[in-house]
A and B are shown apart, each in its own frame.
Chain A
Amino acid sequence: MSTILNLPNQQDAQLPKLSYLNDGYGLKSWLLTGDHKRIAMLYLVSITFFFFIGASFAGVIRLELLTPQPDLVASDTYNKLFTMHGIVMIFLFLVPSVPATIGNFVLPIMVGAKDLAFPKINLLSWYLYVFAGIFILYALVSGGVDTGWTFTTPLSTHYLNTHVITAAVGVFIAGFSSIFTGLNFIVTVHRMRCPGMTWFRLPLFIWAHYATSILMVLGTPVLAITLVLVALERTVGIGVFDPTKGGDPLLFQHLFWFYSHPAVYIMILPGMAVISEVISTFSRKRVFGYTAVAFSSVAIAVFGFFVWAHHMFIMGVSNYSALVFSLLTMLVAVPSAIKIFNWSATLYKGSITFETPMLYAFGFMGLFTIGGLTGVFLGSMGMDIHLTETYFIVAHFHFVMVGGMLMAYLSGIHFWWPKMTGRMYPESMSKMSAVITFVGFILTFFPQFIVGYLGMPRRYHAYPPEFQVLNVLSTAGATVLGIGYLLPLLYMTWSLRYGKIAGSNPWQATGLEWQIQSPPLTENFIETPIMDHEAYDYEWLANKHEHEVTTVG
């Protein structure tokens, strides 16, 4: 099979003598670093840790659902499992996944800067993330939370005696970690682009992360104040959300979903950022309709603020407002679709090769499309009334978040791994892993669409026996999926020591990060770059290779 992989001669290839990895040794040099690349690595380790914790909850959930009877865990335990699965996966994995690891690492390099605008705040961001994780772990080991990750009132404020406040504090802190990352990104993109780097020469990765950062900065604080109100309500109990005291439980939901809907765009936009880069590189073509893709990222961010009540259609909002939100939900699907169309057009007549990042990207295109389409179904009130709170919803968001975002994350990790570590992962293992993941994913989540349509409610650990076959299929798929996720952990770690030396540009990609050494120097560039060509300019790259024997740095 053809490949564009271009590695240096392994006989005499060596990692660069000086890079950000060996610029200073010892725990203190890592824990007190200001280097965005080191912080990205710190995030990578902690995010992976929490991913596997969240995944293990999912494993137990799927085990319970093998049988229709509630026979593995007690009801309360089951509630705690899906709550903690949601909280850990959303706030400790999906939200920071691409921005905090890949974004932190490559964004400054892509704009031609030496670091993010506020390195200390970047480090603070990571510490806040770790504290958030500790709080949530503490909530876990001291008995768990069982409100559902949505903390719906008045259940969470009046009727449960679990560690709601602890978990809420953890999420609050994680929110600020997210806010500071977004703040850093926005300022960096505005103020620290190198000479010649106009807005429309930026890689689309930057545009999508810029849009994500806007969502982080404007949306997350509303979640913060909502959690404060929940905590106050639990302690003082005035009735802000309590109908028996004149409060409105729906007020909580309005405030909660005002963040949590933009949150899903916070989670998916960085994945789309990765896909833009990967699809272009592995079809050797500039992204079709650069401007459309750039503006659609921003449009997703803006429209994403207008649609939150589609999570509340059956909760008691007025029909009139439900109509308005339903209409707006239809509109918000348009920019996402534009991106899918443009990526498809990029592939058309491109020189496509099937390296691992591209395999994951193809997985993303198909699975995100299905997930996104089902989102449009759910946006129409008539369908939502029947499908909401069933496994159809569960399948929908897992298709976009796992089939979409997680695949994009893995795509990005594989794509930038040679840049971050200087080494290549084993290609045959990784391809096999990607295929296993894809197969496992379909097996896990496609049956859930069917079983949800047939009426199986979500968040229940018992179900009518006629749904068992589909549930068994789903659990079988989950096992395969688990293997698919464990393998990268193993072979990526292996590659740190034994992987092939990658060189500065193994994928022959455009973009400033590929023109510097792998792994990069602490200050990224020896001299400030001057950008004089458009993004995804493969002619420029070919030209450069003709005029140069060795790569810079």
Chain B
Amino acid sequence: MSTPTEHEHHIVGPKIYLLILCALLVLTATTTGAAFINMGVFSPIVALGIACIKAVLVILFFMHIRYSSKVLMLTVAAGFFTFLVLITMTLCDYVSRAWGLW
């Protein structure tokens, strides 16, 4: 039978929330600042990278996945995986096309 998650017994405290809040605000300032630096092809990579880190922090701590069962972790992973499939396999077409690029 399914085992109860630790969530029921593990209440995430305000300290962790505060820490994550500060991290998120710092990362927001960072990404805004980084937008003014010309990094060529790395600009979008840095921007999306920071966004991913922020999202992971929210998912792990605000949404408690850090303290949740494997099933839930797998569920979240499955969602993002399917999203990535949509993006990459569609891009696979556009990237290898000769027409349509201005």
Contact = CB atoms under 8 A, between A and B. Distances in A.
Interface residues of A, number: 25
The CB with the most chain B CB atoms within 10 A, among A222, A306, A317, is that of A317
A25 interface: no
Contacts of A316: 99
Given A305-B82, A305-B85, A306-B85, A318 B93 contact: yes
A321 B82 contact: no
A191 interface: yes
A191 B93 contact: no
A316 B98 CA distance: 10
B96 A320 contact: yes
A324 interface: yes
Contacts, number: 44
Interface string B66-97: 00000100000011001001100110111011
A321 B93 CA distance: 5
Contacts of B99: 316
B40 interface: no
Contacts of B92: 320-321, 324
B2 A321 contact: no
B71 A190 contact: yes
Nearest to B99: A316
B41 interface: no
B100 interface: yes
Contact of B89 (A193, A306, A319): A306
A218 B97 contact: no
B1 interface: yes
A321 B92 CA distance: 6
Contact of A254 (B79, B82, B90): B90
B58 to A, nearest CB: 21
A309 B93 contact: yes
Interface string B1-24: 110000000000000000000000
A102 B74 CA distance: 28
Given A190-B2, A190-B71, A324-B92, A318 B97 contact: yes
B74 to A, nearest CB: 11
B10 to A, nearest CB: 19
Contact of B78 (A218, A250, A258, A320): A218
A388 B79 CA distance: 32
Interface in A188-215: 190-191, 193, 195, 214
Given A193-B1, A218-B78, A321 B86 contact: no
Contacts of A191: 2
18 contacts: A190-B71, A193-B2, A195-B1, A218-B78, A218-B82, A222-B86, A250-B93, A254-B90, A305-B82, A309-B93, A317-B97, A318-B94, A318-B96, A318-B97, A318-B98, A320-B96, A321-B93, A321-B96
Interface of B: 1-2, 71, 78-79, 82, 85-86, 89-90, 92-94, 96-100, 102
